[in-house]
Amino acid sequence: MHVVWDISVILQTFIICTSSAQPITSKLDGSWWAYKDVVQGSFVPVPSFWGLVNSAWNLCAIGKRQSPIDIETSHMIFDPYLTPLRLNTGGRKMGGTMYNTGKHVSLRPDKAHLVNISGGPLGYSYRLEEVRLHFGSEDSQGSEHLLNGQGFPGEVQLIHYNQDLYTNYSEAAKSPYGIAVVSIFIKLSENSNTFLNRMLNRDTITRINYKHDAFLLMGMNIADLYPDTTRYITYEGSITIPPCYETATWILINKPVYVTQMQMHSLRLLSQNEPYKIFLSMSDNTRPTQPLLQRCIRTNINFSKQGRDCPNNRALRPQYRGNMEDK
């Protein structure tokens, strides 16, 4: 009760402070949110305020199946019924447009090149809607998910919607079993992942320096983005931006992908703003981790230690495991 009361007082103060300047309702559009405070300029809600400024975003504050989370490997449960994830590209390369959205680097496949995933924890077929990059201002942070409390320099999220049940992403995002996100941690190395190298080489990334910049890429093979492993970790969560709908099945691949230090540097030089506005680095575009609460973290990694039981788990003899491949 104490915490709830505190937050409502803060919110009231905020409404009183801002209402004289501009009516708050005019700000209630889908993009009126931010990851971090800006030093100057008008108030834009950071993650702790997302659920308080717009009633349609309630789940960001009161949801109980929110993402991202800190993956504690000691809480993982081996589920022998989890099959490998299936990627279907129809054997074709894809084209897409890469955008600076002001918040993320985003690659959207064009409609002529459909890619879908199925299998694993998924009961339906999910079509790729967007490849999104999160990254940090320092190498120790930048991923949305953490592993045993530790962050990575970045995280690639492949966002898919359920194409069996829904006609488009917006409808799926607010509906049961709507979304499947494949998440891959980004680490630094001398050589970079073939797919990410196409997006992040100097000639390409500098085309999207500013908000709303876009650049067309062709001949991309999404299979190149996937590390060479069938192992993953999965849990039921939410989309990590407002309205935080709790419709996402997360699949975290058990191996990272690599980019070079130079490519990470180029990412940090992207601006959240248009060219005529002050430079504000896009880095640290991450939502803080959310409580796991009663949820299970399942994995297809077999390990021998016996674990506690999990209500959602189909495994008769659930087991634990404590390490990530190639961490």
Ligand X SMILES: *[C@@H]1O[C@H](CO)[C@@H](O)[C@H](O)[C@H]1NC(C)=O
Q: Which residues are tagged catalytic?
A: 166
> Does residue 26 touch ligand X according to CB under 6 A?
no
Look-up of token digits 């966002």: 159
Q: Which two tokens stand for residue 268?
A: 């940090």
Residue 191 CA to residue 312 CA, distance in Å, equals: 40
Nearest 5°: the CA angle 318, 321, 325 is 135
**Do residues 162 and 124 touch, judged by C-beta distance below 8 A?**
yes
CB of 281 to ligand X, least distance (A): 30
- Among the listed ranges 5-13, 163-171, 214-222, 278-286, the one in contact with ligand X (CB under 6 A) is 163-171
Give the number of residues in contact with ligand X, rule: CB under 6 A.
13
Total residue count of the chain as it appears in this document: 327
Q: Which of 22, 168, 206, 294 binds ligand X (CB under 6 A)?
A: 168
- Is residue 300 within the footprint of ligand X (CB under 6 A)? no
Strand residues in the chain grouped as ranges (E):
70-71, 76-78, 85-88, 94-100, 105-109, 116-119, 122-135, 146-147, 154-162, 179-188, 214-220, 232-237, 248-253, 257-259, 297-299
Amino acid letter, 14? F
CA distance 131 to 108: 6
Does residue 167 belong to the site contacting ligand X (CB under 6 A)? yes
Rounded to a whole number of angstroms, the minimum distance from the CB of residue 87 to ligand X is 9
Nearest approach in angstroms of CB 5 to ligand X is 39
Among positions 66, 163, 238, 272, the unique one binding ligand X when judged by CB under 6 A: 163
Residue with nearest beta carbon to ligand X: 90
Nearer to ligand X, 265 or 305 (CB): 305
Contact between 162 and ligand X per CB under 6 A: no
Q: Segment contacting ligand X (CB under 6 A): 7-15, 37-45, 52-60, 168-176?
A: 168-176
Interface stretch with ligand X, choices 166-174, 183-191, 228-236, 238-246 (CB under 6 A): 166-174
What are the backbone dihedrals phi and psi of residue 179, each rounded to the nearest 5 degrees, phi first?
A: -125, 145
Near ligand X in 66-125, by CB under 6 A:
80, 88, 90, 114, 116, 125
Helix (H) or strand (E) holding 13: helix 2-19
Q: Segment contacting ligand X (CB under 6 A): 4-12, 164-172, 175-183, 227-235?
A: 164-172
Q: Among 171, 274, 309, 326, which residue sits at the site for ligand X (rule: CB under 6 A)?
A: 171
The SS3 assignment for 87 reads strand
**306 touches ligand X by CB under 6 A:** no
| Strand boundaries in 226-304, DSSP class E | 232-237, 248-253, 257-259, 297-299
- Please tell me whether residue 221 binds ligand X under the rule CB under 6 A: no
- Identity of the residue, 3 or 112, whose beta carbon is nearer to ligand X in the bound complex: 112
Binding site for ligand X (CB under 6 A): 80, 88, 90, 114, 116, 125, 163, 167-168, 170-171, 302, 304
